[in-house]
Amino acid sequence: MERPKIKIKQTPVDIMTEIIGIIGLILLIGLPLYYFDKLPETIPRHFVANGEPDGFSGKGIIWTLPIIRVIMYVGMFWLIKYPHIFNYPQQVTKANAERLYKIGTRMIRTLNSIITCIFLYIAYSTIQTALGNQNGLGTWFTPVFIILMFGLTGYFLCQLMSKNHIPLTMYKKS
């Protein structure tokens, strides 16, 4: 059975989430632009689980995060346009397609913005560590990252798995 192809209308929450992601992406590109000439020739390129740097490279490595993130952001932004190709934990029917697609696109959009903010924090911390103003990512980075990624994914998967899900008020039809 072919899945219904429905255009999902964005809510104000979706638009705000997208704006946060775009602002984060602009800042992620702007940070290296602003600080590049101020950076020493060798900067941190890798951090261990407790947030301390353990690998160093030339300062050109600072462009790796923005380049990777722009490619990922565009890919995830494009993916949101085709919710019928996502994997869902239940059969997609005409009756539940709109609800599942809304939750699925919200999950991808939210993760896209959160990942952008995480990359932004890593770039900022790399720059600040290289300049001697900070010492790595901080011991709290890894647990917060894990909780955010798995927590958000789990939250949205629970919504997707519920067959008797009561739509959130932001999903109600006018």
Residue 170 pLDDT: 45
pLDDT of 166 above 80: no
3 assigned to some structural domain: no
**Cβ density class 30-55: b for 16+ within 10 Å, e for less:** ebbeebeeebeeebbbebeeebebee
Q: What is the pLDDT of residues 35-63, one digit of tens each?
A: 999 999 999 999 988 889 998 999 999 99
Structural tokens at position 88: 């869902």
pLDDT of 34 above 50: yes
70 assigned to some structural domain: yes
2 assigned to some structural domain: no
The number of C-alpha atoms within 13 Å of 158 and in the hemisphere containing its C-beta is 7
Q: How many residues does the chain have?
A: 174
Number of domains in the chain: 1
Give CA separation, 131 vs 20, 46, 53, 122, 134, in Å. Answer: 27, 16, 13, 14, 8
- The whole domain housing 79 covers 12-171
Structural tokens at position 7: 């255009």
41 assigned to some structural domain: yes
Share of the chain above pLDDT 70, in %: 93
The number of beta carbons lying within 10 Å of the beta carbon of residue 93 is 11
- pTM reported for the whole predicted model: 0.86
pLDDT of 84 above 80: yes
Amino acid at 87: N
The number of beta carbons lying within 10 Å of the beta carbon of residue 17 is 19
Structural tokens at position 44: 């941190």
Number of H helices, E strands in the chain: 4, 2
Rg of the chain in Å (alpha carbons): 19
4 assigned to some structural domain: no
33 assigned to some structural domain: yes
6 assigned to some structural domain: no
23 assigned to some structural domain: yes
